[in-house]
Amino acid sequence: MHNAAYKVYGMPYSYRIFETPTINQLLLTVQDPAVDGASVALPFKLEIIPLIHTLSDHARAIGAVSVIIPIRPTDNKAPIALHGDNTDWIGIRTCVSRYLTLVNAITNSTTSLVIGTGGTARAAIYALQKIGAENIFPRNRTASRAIEIADRTPETASPTSFDTCRTRRLLCQLDIGCRRSCISAHSI
């Protein structure tokens, strides 16, 4: 997808996948002068933050980084700083927004379920807040992880683990559901 877009727009870039087993290897990869940026995947979206020099407002609010941009001097040598951003929330917001209609709009009673508590789940909560969702429920196998993510957004998120009756009732009221590989929005 990235390479096709670069070709269409005549941009002299290529997108390649580098799997790095450690965060240190990821840092070495983005310091290579031939690398102009990197997508960050699990498990490094949270762990990379203390090693980044600057963060976008979105990455700071989300608490996760999905893109690293090396800031280089004009001679294109080793970076003098690494900038972290999060673009996951934009894709999630766009995906959810596509399913919204006049009948199926975000209201003050819209119920949203976010499954998981990693970097992408944090981006999903942020995206849902940006489109006006107020009743956001992060769910995880362990309540402590759900509480941790809800504490970042106490005005909208209400955590519990999957083993409660409350979760079953919530699923019956669900308007928007987000998990790492799928987003759905529907009117009930």
Residues 70-109 pLDDT 10s: 998 877 677 789 999 999 999 999 988 888 888 878 888 7
Range of the domain at 131: 89-185
Most confident residue range from 10-14, 31-35, 85-89, 171-175? 85-89
Asked if residue 107 and residue 145 are part of one domain, the reply reads: yes
Asked if residue 129 and residue 52 are part of one domain, the reply reads: no
- Look up the CATH number of the domain holding residue 24: 3.40.50.10860
Which among 42, 62, 86 is the end of a domain?
86
Residues 20-54 pLDDT 10s: 899 999 999 998 888 889 999 888 999 999 999 99
Name the pLDDT band for 115 (thresholds 50, 70, 90).
confident
Residues 6+ positions from 13 with CB-CB distance below 8 Å: 2, 6, 36
Indicate whether 167 pLDDT > 80: no
Q: Are 183 and 115 in contact (CB under 8 A)?
A: no
Asked if residue 93 and residue 10 are part of one domain, the reply reads: no
- Look up the CATH number of the domain holding residue 145: 3.40.50.720
Domain count of the chain? 2
Asked if residue 103 and residue 72 are part of one domain, the reply reads: no
As a whole number, mean pLDDT of residues 13-23 equals 89
HSE of 34, CA atoms in CB hemisphere, 13 A: 5
Asked if residue 79 and residue 17 are part of one domain, the reply reads: yes
Asked if residue 136 and residue 70 are part of one domain, the reply reads: no
The angle, 0 to 180 degrees and rounded to 10, between the axes of the packed helices 119-130 and 143-152 is 40
Asked if residue 29 and residue 11 are part of one domain, the reply reads: yes
Indicate whether 133 pLDDT > 50: yes
Asked if residue 44 and residue 128 are part of one domain, the reply reads: no
Q: What percent of the chain has pLDDT over 90?
A: 38
Q: Which residue has the tokens 């980084």?
A: 65
Asked if residue 99 and residue 64 are part of one domain, the reply reads: no
Residues 6+ positions from 86 with CB-CB distance below 8 Å: 56, 58, 59, 62, 64, 65, 66, 67, 119, 123, 126
